[in-house]
Structure 1
Amino acid sequence: MNSNRPYSTESAHDHGAQDHGACPACGSGATRAFYRCGDVPVHSCLLVDDQQTALEFPRGELDLALCTECGFVFNRLFDPSHNAYSSDYEETQGFSPLFREFIADLAAQWVQRYDLAGKRVVEIGCGKGEFLAEMVRAGVASGVGVDPGVHPERIDADVAEKLTWVKGFFPEDYPELDADAVICRHTLEHIAPVAEWMRTVRAAIGDRTDTAVLFELPDVRRVLDEGAFWDVYYEHCSYFTTGSLARLFRRTGFEILREWTAYDEQYLIIEARPTTSGEGGLSPVFALIEDDIAAVSEAADRFAAAHAEMIGRWQTRLREVADAGGRSVIWGSGSKGVAFLAALGDDAPLVDAAVDINPFKHGRYMAGSGHRIVAPKELTEIQPDLVIAMNPAYLDEIGHDLAGLDLQTTLEAV
């Protein structure tokens, strides 16, 4: 995933460490813990140049809690002082043809749906800027990208002159959101005081109630239902369902226009506009969408057991390969890969390497586990018997790449 983060260590200190009792989304004290895990890397996508540094990477604790009032899930032990977002943060999925097709389609949808052709947009947490580039190609006249990890030199020349970059954070380095659309993709899950931050977004838009507010982030309901331990990691301190996300938006001054899931049902997308009357109203259509708290609570109750079962299944699978004299690798060295290897514990060495198509990661090391990140072509030397895709959405793409290397291997997905 994009995993962008427009939230600085300094801001986090200003807001204080996350309250261990009250819900950061609604303020309710009706929260209960349902899953805890210690010794996890505090960052997943920072580039690490040597194995020893990777092995000694700072660790933190997860203590996931559910708010039974609004359905929000959050890490009660999240410490924002660990935040170290910078140009060394390498989160992009933009080297994947599938992902590029997805963002091009989403950009085209938003430009058409909100009449953004010839207009100006701002993206909070723009990462490497690929999505803003697609917005320009879809017809917007100009865009501003705000992110501490931007690399303007990577942007294609055909759109570069229409884009401006702020190498920093919202709101510290870019306080006003004077635009026809405010975009924020895979950023809100990295922010602890979510309600306070969303109110800051609303205030920064000001009187422009015609501004389209377009967010994308992971869907935690799928994670809970599947026991997807590879999608739970320290940087993600805030987790949303369709219901809890809609409730947050309405509570912080937005009217919801549309909410849906995309990208193999992994992502939540919400489209809204600012209101002038405080809390946004609830339409009958969205009342049905938001009625999910009981189901989320049940899924949270099942998560720890499903999580343990899923880890055990992969530990067994890796041992089988190793006992037969074979070798295993994971495909995907981002957050999912870091979480997967961390969860394996003492069995992590059964994985020989992490494969990634992003050339900026090659020769670097995975935070926490110390696995070397290799280019796909290096698999001809490793000759793996098992390749584990960290995201099932990329199975076809990975399979095509493996076929091009003429490798005889088994490809499976988490």
Structure 2
Amino acid sequence: MTAGTCPACGAAAPEPFHVGEPVPVNSCLLLGDRDAAVDFPKGALALALCPACGLIWNCRYDPELMTYSQDYEETQGFSPTFQAFIHHLAADWVERYSLGGGTVVEIGCGKGEFLVELARAGIGSGIGIDPGVQPARIPAGLPLTWIQGLFPQDLPDLRADAIVCRHTLEHIAPVREFLAAIRSAITEPERTVLLFEVPDVRRVLDEVAFWDVYYEHSSYFSAGSVGRLFRAAGFDVLAIERAYSDQTLLVEARPAVGGVATAAIPIEEDPAELAEAAARFARGHQAMVDHWRDRIRTVHAGGGRTVIWGGGSKGVAFLAALGADSRLVDGVVDINPFKQNQYMAGTGHRVLAPKDLTDAEPALVIVMNGAYRTEIGAELTDLGLTPTVEAL
């Protein structure tokens, strides 16, 4: 692969359909010093769409700028909504793929919450690998092993009944090379199933969700592009379905036997259809950014305060897109205690706990992820606050 070819299929790369302003290279790496947060390194953002396979990728992505460590605070595990989702998903996968008593490897396990759910659902043993894993934060007494490292460098063989990889593939630039490495590392392909979850770029394009475009995500997948990628890397695609308020794609696959991959499934769109959605995103991007700028300016002009709820990647991307108007956002709220009193990369906003809003008394709360709107509304009610709540 070269810089001028698609990382999934090798086709010649077209011109980017969207070029954004430079953005912080890490959006889940919170800092204890505000000046360091404001001066955090930025990277270029230019999205290209492969006309042959439909992969969207940041063609100006530089992996040398990335830092993944135990300071990377990506977990959504403090949300009851999120916990309910992963509890159901783990139980479903264990039942449907007969993983009870089996072995699971999770590549990119984050803070380990999903592998914990798989253990509680009945797997016999699990291995989680991630540069950011913190075993001290994970419940003890479960048949789980943690590796603070990367695949394949620190785990060259994958001997398991299932390979789980959730919200990691989009962080990989050479996506086909990565999947091919997984295929080569599987020691017993007849027994192994792959269970992946990635963000659905089709929703991002259709909703002009500029807050879901950020530097860590070097690759963006639709149902069609992810299906074609898995088949090209030597896997049979068993199922692709949307999940989590249609924000993500669940991909289930097995190593292909005999070199014959399965055909496309109905959910997979063709690249031309995705190209139309990308063009709409490009046309509507500035108008969507201006909408939120105007909304925040109106509240400020009326003497009210605006806060955003969500101190993760969406929040960093949202504030970065606002430019100078980000100063009109009076606070960032997050329920994750490990984020609180840290500073957001790029703008230096301090992350508040929900209880801090009783002093701020915001007029407008902008929810960074609509999946959490109900639980956030309930928390605001418990605090005795009645702001206008709007979700992206």
What is the TM-score normalised by the length of structure 2? 0.98
Q: CA deviation at 1:275?
A: 1.5
Partners of 2:223 and 2:269 within 8 A in 1: no
1:265 corresponds in structure 2 to 246
Whether 1:292 aligns to 2:270 is yes
Whether 1:380 aligns to 2:377 is no
Cα distance between partner residues in 2 of 1:367 and 1:276:
46
Match of 1:58 among 33, 36, 41: 41
Cα distance between partner residues in 1 of 2:296 and 2:189:
55
Q: How does 1:195-234 map to 2 (within 5 A)?
A: 195-234=176-215
Whether 1:345 aligns to 2:323 is yes
Which one-letter code corresponds to 2:163 in the other structure?
A: V
**Partner-residue secondary structure (3-state), 1:359:** coil
Q: CA deviation at 1:291?
A: 3.6
**Partner-residue secondary structure (3-state), 2:178:** helix
Whether 1:397 aligns to 2:375 is yes
Cα distance between partner residues in 2 of 1:271 and 1:355:
35
Match of 2:303 among 320, 325, 330: 325
Q: Size of the alignment, in residue pairs?
A: 392
Cα distance between partner residues in 1 of 2:390 and 2:85:
23
Q: How does 1:6-405 map to 2 (within 5 A)?
A: 19-157=2-140, 160-278=141-259, 280-282=261-263, 286=265, 288-405=266-383
Q: Which moved more, 1:21-30 or 1:241-250?
A: 21-30
1:411 corresponds in structure 2 to 389
Q: Which moved more, 1:348-357 or 1:26-35?
A: 26-35
Cα distance between partner residues in 2 of 1:72 and 1:386:
37
Partners of 1:144 and 1:164 within 8 A in 2: yes
**Partner-residue secondary structure (3-state), 1:258:** strand
**Partner-residue secondary structure (3-state), 2:321:** helix
**Partner-residue secondary structure (3-state), 2:251:** strand
Partners of 1:253 and 1:277 within 8 A in 2: no
Partners of 1:389 and 1:413 within 8 A in 2: yes
The Cα offsets for residues 284-341 of structure 1, whole Å up to 9 and x where unpaired, read as xx1x333432210001111122211111000000000000001000000100000000
Cα distance between partner residues in 2 of 1:105 and 1:342:
34
Q: CA deviation at 1:281?
A: 2.5
Partners of 2:159 and 2:188 within 8 A in 1: no
Which one-letter code corresponds to 1:32 in the other structure?
A: E
Question: Structure 1: 5+ residue runs without aligned partners?
Answer: 1-17
Partners of 2:22 and 2:43 within 8 A in 1: yes
Cα distance between partner residues in 2 of 1:34 and 1:331:
30
Cα distance between partner residues in 2 of 1:398 and 1:317:
20
Cα distance between partner residues in 2 of 1:410 and 1:109:
37
Cα distance between partner residues in 2 of 1:291 and 1:354:
37
Q: Among the aligned pairs, what percent are the same residue?
A: 58
Partners of 1:227 and 1:303 within 8 A in 2: yes
Partners of 2:35 and 2:348 within 8 A in 1: yes
Partners of 1:257 and 1:273 within 8 A in 2: yes
What is the TM-score normalised by the length of structure 1? 0.93
Q: CA deviation at 1:30?
A: 4.9
Q: CA deviation at 1:279?
A: 5.5
Partners of 1:45 and 1:335 within 8 A in 2: yes
Which one-letter code corresponds to 2:137 in the other structure?
A: R
Q: CA deviation at 1:277?
A: 2.8
Partners of 1:32 and 1:67 within 8 A in 2: no
Partners of 1:254 and 1:279 within 8 A in 2: no
Q: CA deviation at 1:233?
A: 0.3
**Partner-residue secondary structure (3-state), 1:71:** coil
Cα distance between partner residues in 1 of 2:243 and 2:223:
12
Cα distance between partner residues in 2 of 1:144 and 1:263:
25
Q: CA deviation at 1:282?
A: 1.0
Cα distance between partner residues in 1 of 2:295 and 2:2:
40
Q: CA RMSD in A?
A: 1.1
Cα distance between partner residues in 1 of 2:188 and 2:132:
30
**Partner-residue secondary structure (3-state), 2:16:** strand
Partners of 1:356 and 1:374 within 8 A in 2: yes
Which one-letter code corresponds to 2:128 in the other structure?
A: G
Q: CA deviation at 1:212?
A: 0.9
